[in-house]
Every structure is written in C-alpha cells, then in structure tokens.
Amino acid sequence: MELATTHTFEAPLTKVAAMYANEEFAHKRGLATGATECDAIVDGDPSGAFSVAIRRVMPTEGLQPEFKPWIGPSITVRYTEAWEPPRTDKRDGTFAVEIVGAPVRAAGTLRSLRTAIARPSLLRARSRPNCRFSERS
C-alpha cells in the first residue's frame, strides 16, 4: 500500500522552507494533531539542509478496543523530516513516523516544487507504511 498527499502553498519555496524550519510552527503542527504533549526541534537553516523532529504524546481513547492489549491511555509518536539543500526549482527530503515501543513505522520521500504559476509551491509526500503486530504475553 502506498500513501500519498499533496499540499499547495501560496508562497515561494524559500518561504515554505522557512515555515517548515520554524520551531514554533513545528510545535503547532504537533499540537494540531490532538497531542496532549509536544516537543519540536529544528536543526539547520532553511537556506541549506535542515531537519525537523517532532515528538508528541497522543491519547488513545478513540482507538478500537482490540488494540488496547498493546497500548495504554496514550502513545508517543516520533516524526522526523530531513530536507536537502534547495535546488533551482525543488527541494527533496525524507520523513519517518514511528510509534515508540510498537512495531509501527512509516517512512517516505518529500518533494517541494515550484509550480509554473508565479508563486504557489507544492509539497508532496509518499510513503509505504510497514506495520507488524505481535501478541504480548
């Protein structure tokens, strides 16, 4: 199974990169997912290579009951992005999402493109999730 998403930003690539490389914005991204706790760290600068790490604690009350033997009242989710330095009309990166202590991980590619239109930029993400479940004793 492949997951893919595309976001359009009404801004040039340099401004989109600056937004993603902003720790306050990364923190808000984490909280916007419903996290009860969130930490965000940005390493590097949007004019070159940079990475973003977001750790969030998510409540599990909405999950199906059959998953309860594997998890408690919350899970910790780690999300990381690593962006390469910009090129003329694009910027590539990778991302990974994992649930701490569980055999669930997704990783994929990121690409930010300048469009033919004067200002908008696209951010595309593609992933092939890898999930393994094993019974705890």
Query: Average model confidence (pLDDT) for the chain?
Result: 83
Residue 85: its pLDDT value, please?
Answer: 94
Q: What is the pTM of this model?
A: 0.82
42 close to 50: Cβ distance less than 8 angstroms: yes
Rounded to an integer, the average pLDDT of 104-130 is 70
Domain boundaries, the chain: 3-131
SS3 state at 19: helix
Rounded to an integer, the average pLDDT of 37-46 is 96
SS3 state at 107: strand
Q: Which CATH number fits domain 3-131: 3.30.530, 3.40.720, 2.60.40, 1.10.150?
A: 3.30.530
Evaluated on CA atoms 27, 79, 22, 5, the torsion sign reads negative
Cα-trace Rg, the chain? 17
